[in-house]
Chain A
Amino acid sequence: MKTFKNIALTLLSSTLFFACSSDDDNNTTQAKANANVTFDARVGSADFALDTPYTINGTSYQFDGLRYWVGNVEFVNANNETVAFEDSYFLMEETKAVAVQEGDFTYPAKKRETFGLNNLPVGNYTKIRFTVGVDAVYNDNLSLQAGELSQLNGMTNISWMWHTSYIFSSLKGKNTASNQAITVETGLNANYRTVEITLATPFEVKANQVNTLGLNVDVAKIVDGIDLAATPTVSASTPTVMSAVANNFRDKVFSVKSVE
């Protein structure tokens, strides 16, 4: 993001300090456009909604919330050139109200499935990369903040603060039949994952139009291969299962829905 904010200043400055600059800067004349990326939460082929029973691996579950950090978004074009939105962090979520600081205050119920990016150079993109979680630089130091990172949205709760880390992803709900609560969380640097999705139909970004890349987020795949009866709470104390959930986010959860 920073890169793009600095363009105007850089342009101005490069005139004044031409002699100091050794980098070619021919990209600054390239046209830019705005783009939206939408994360459509689903369970298999059904739309994801809270308090709605879904059968996953033969068991019925319903959910109170799905939340996860998407960061460090990159687009790759056909020439293998990468446009990086460094330090961009977006909290994607569909959640009931969240008690923050053990109920000291409340984060309101929210549904958010889209983020916008400004100044994406026009062109045809064949890959999108993003991370699920927070890079170690920020994850290890809660006083550094980028994008939407904050202590105030319930993605760092008390037990996690005793162990410095954001919660990278959180899926909460219950087994509809048994009422067993389930909490599937990832966090800690070891579970930071980069997702790469190849766009069979290139994402054609044009000026003067709304460019939207739609991704599916299959909630069933988050817990693919996880025995929630045996491990209803996936947390730092179940490191192997947590790592498996993080791998699911990397490998299975996201797919292309639409390219507009």
Chain B
Amino acid sequence: MKNNQFNKIQCGFLGLLTFAFISCSGDDDYQEPKPLVEVPDNFPSFIDSQTNPLSKDGIALGKKLFYDKTLSGNNNVSCASCHLPELAFSDGVALSNVGVSGNQLHRNAPALINLAWATNGLFWDGGSTNLESQAFAPLSHPDEMFQNLNQLIQELEAKTEYITLFQKAFGQPVSQTGIVKALAQFQRTLVSGNSKYDKFVRNEADGILNEAELDGLALAEQFCFSCHQTPLLTDNQYHNNGLDDDFSNTAFEGMLQGRYRVTNDINDLGKFKTPTLRNIEKTAPYMHDGRFSTLEEVIDHYRFGVKNSPSLASQLNQNNTLGIPLSQTEKNNLIAFLKTLTDEEFLNNPRFK
């Protein structure tokens, strides 16, 4: 009751302020502000966080934190240690061991691409609900950054520029929640949608696919896009793509059981999140555990290696035939198409470095 009234009053003030601004600003020196995030025309509209909306200062702080090794317990690991911009924010190794403990992780570091639209869970099993909450896991895990979250505040405050940057971004002192909010804002700006394929879709001048690439696109439409849905080239869903057929190993808190670990639903055994195909040329090795080193190996898995189990994606078991039938030429053409999804502007974007 009183809250409503309070909100109305705030609205009253805002209305007043808006009026005051309008009455004293001239049109002649008005410049369209540079957008905080550039969204391609062939994308769905940008989904901002209602509780952590983008701001210029929040993004800038997030970028600085993303590359700052102070965020790890031994001050040797930053987010960028496993999320390199030139590899579409993946790390190029199957299972990293660059964390504080030196232990090998159990899952492949995912690329960070178009995460603003990744609203159906993060991590390979979707266990994390949003980018803000997600950040606490790598920050605190002994095999990753193993940062004492209490101490981190003192360490950042010791670098006095951070005191100013947190004030500018959030109007508050350095805080754990400010850290994860800023990191989330920066990550939501990592939009990739300027590949040759995108330019082809948008009928832009340099968006020309050759014959092999066009054939590969047709094959992708037939066999890949049901899960790797356009335009994001992921459906943000979880599927068992036939990598394994035995999910009885409960080791590492169920890490090997896929989405089942989160839902405890046997239909989710062996299901992992569909990764985007965008920049796939740069994000080897592939799959949740990095078991395939090359795109050739990935496609050969779908041709010859699919294993059957009750939760297998139905697309991979059509007419009692496992996998996707592709000739050697078709495989080559599909790979040619997949390479049109490389977005050099994204990989080299100075705003992200």
Interfacial residues, chain A to chain B (CB-CB below 8 A)? 2-3, 6-7, 9-10, 13-14, 17, 20-21, 23, 25, 27-28, 101-102, 104-105, 140-145, 151-152, 156, 158-159, 161-164, 236-237, 239
* Contact present for B132 and A3 (CB under 8 Å): no
Whether A162 lies near B128 (C-beta < 8 A) is: yes
User: Is A141 in contact with B133, judged by CB distance below 8 angstroms?
Assistant: yes
Contacts of A143 in B (CB 8 A): 51-52, 132-133, 177, 180-181, 184
Q: Is the Cβ of A156 less than 8 Å from the Cβ of B9?
A: no
Which residues of chain B have a CB within 8 Å of any CB of chain A? 1-6, 8-9, 12, 51-52, 73, 123, 127-130, 132-134, 136-137, 140-142, 146-151, 176-177, 180-181, 184, 250, 253-254, 261-262, 264
Chain A to chain B: the 5 pairs with minimum beta-carbon distance, closest first? A143-B132, A163-B127, A164-B129, A142-B133, A164-B133
**Of B3, B4, B136, B151, which one neighbours A142 at CB under 8 angstroms?**
B136
Instruction: Show 11 residue pairs from A and B whose CB-CB distance is below 8 angstroms, ordered by the A residue.
Output: A2-B3, A10-B6, A17-B9, A25-B1, A101-B148, A102-B142, A152-B176, A158-B137, A161-B137, A164-B127, A237-B253
- When distances are taken between beta carbons in the complex, the residues of chain B under 8 Å from A25 are 1-2, 5
Chain B residue nearest in CB terms to A163 = B127
Q: Quick one: which of A152, A158, A163 contacts B128, CB cutoff 8 A?
A: A163
Which of A13, A140, A239 is B6 in contact with, Cβ under 8 Å? A13
Question: CB < 8 Å: which of B9, B132, B147 contacts A141?
Answer: B132
**What chain B residues lie within 8 Å of A13 (beta carbons)?**
5-6, 9
Q: How far is the CB of B247 from chain A (nearest CB, A)?
A: 13
Chain A contacts of B253 at CB under 8 A? 159, 162, 237
Closest to B260 in A: A237
User: Does B146 contact A7, Cβ atoms closer than 8 Å?
Assistant: no
Q: Are A162's CB and B264's CB within 8 A?
A: no
- Contact between B136 and A151 (Cβ–Cβ < 8 Å)? yes
Q: Is the CB of B141 within 8 A of A158?
A: yes
A21 and B8 contact, Cβ closer than 8 Å, known pairs A6-B2, A140-B130: yes
Q: Measured between alpha carbons, how far is A83 from B12 in the docked complex, in Å?
A: 27
Determine if B149 and A152 form an interchain contact, defined as CB atoms under 8 angstroms apart.
yes
Say yes or no: A144 contacts B51, CB within 8 Å. Answer: yes
Please report the C-alpha to C-alpha distance between residue A152 and residue B12 in the assembled complex, in whole angstroms.
Answer: 39
Chain A residue contacts of B147, Cβ below 8 A: 104
A162 contacts which chain B residues (CB < 8 A)? 123, 127-128, 137, 253
Measured in the bound complex, the distance between the Cα atoms of B148 and A151 in whole Å is 11
- Which of A27, A141, A239 contacts B130, CB < 8 Å? A141
A23 to B1, Cβ gap below 8 A? yes
A142–B131 alpha-carbon span in the complex (Å) = 10
Identify B12's interface contact among A17, A28, A144, CB under 8 A: A17
Looking across the interface, which residue of chain B has its beta carbon closest to that of A4?
B2
Choose among B132, B134, B137 the residue with the greatest number of A CB atoms under 10 Å from its CB.
Answer: B137
Given contacts A140-B133, A152-B176, contact A105 B151 (CB under 8 A): yes
Contacts of B130 in A (CB 8 A): 140-141, 164
- Contact assessment for A9 and B6 in the assembled complex, using a CB-CB cutoff below 8 Å: yes
Q: Which residues of A contact B146 (CB under 8 A)?
A: 101, 104
| Set A10, A161, A163: member contacting B140, Cβ < 8 A | A161
Q: Which residues of A contact B129 (CB under 8 A)?
A: 140-141, 164
Q: Measured between alpha carbons, how far is A102 from B9 in the docked complex, in Å? A: 47
B6/A23 in contact, CB under 8 A:
no
Could you say which residues of chain B place their CB within 8 Å of the CB of A28?
A: 2
Q: Which residue of A lies closest to B255 (CB)?
A: A162
Nearest-neighbour CB distance to chain A for B147, whole angstroms, equals: 8
User: Which B residues touch A159, using CB under 8 A?
Assistant: 253
**Which one of A17, A104, A158, A163 contacts B148 once the chains associate, using CB atoms below 8 Å?**
A104
Of chain B, the residue at the smallest CB distance from A6 is B6
Kindly provide the distance from the CB of B153 to the nearest chain A CB, expressed in whole angstroms: 10
Cα A2 to Cα B1 in complex, Å, equals 12
Taken together as a complex, chains A and B put the C-alpha atoms of A21 and B12 apart, in Å, by: 11
B3 touches A6 (CB 8 A): yes
> Smallest CB–CB gap between A3 and chain B, Å?
6
- Taking A6-B6, A14-B5 as known contacts, 12 extra A-B pairs with beta carbons closer than 8 A to each other, sorted by chain A number, are A3-B2, A6-B2, A21-B8, A23-B1, A25-B2, A25-B5, A105-B150, A141-B130, A142-B133, A144-B51, A151-B140, A163-B127
Complex: A239 Cα to B268 Cα, angstroms: 15
**A10 x B5 contact (CB < 8 A):** yes
Chain B residues, Cβ within 8 Å of A142: 132-133, 136, 177, 180
- A141-B132, A237-B264 in contact; A10/B2 too (CB < 8 A)? yes
In contact, B136 and A161 (Cβ under 8 angstroms): yes
A2 to B177, CA, bound (A): 20
Bound: A21/B7 CA distance, A: 10
A20 in contact with B127 given A101-B148, A156-B136 (CB within 8 Å):
no
Residues of B within 8 A of A239 (CB): 264
Residues of A within 8 Å of B136, CB to CB, are: 142, 151, 156, 161
A237 touches B254 (CB 8 A): yes
A162→B52 CA distance, assembly (Å): 21
- Complex contact A141–B5 (CB within 8 A): no
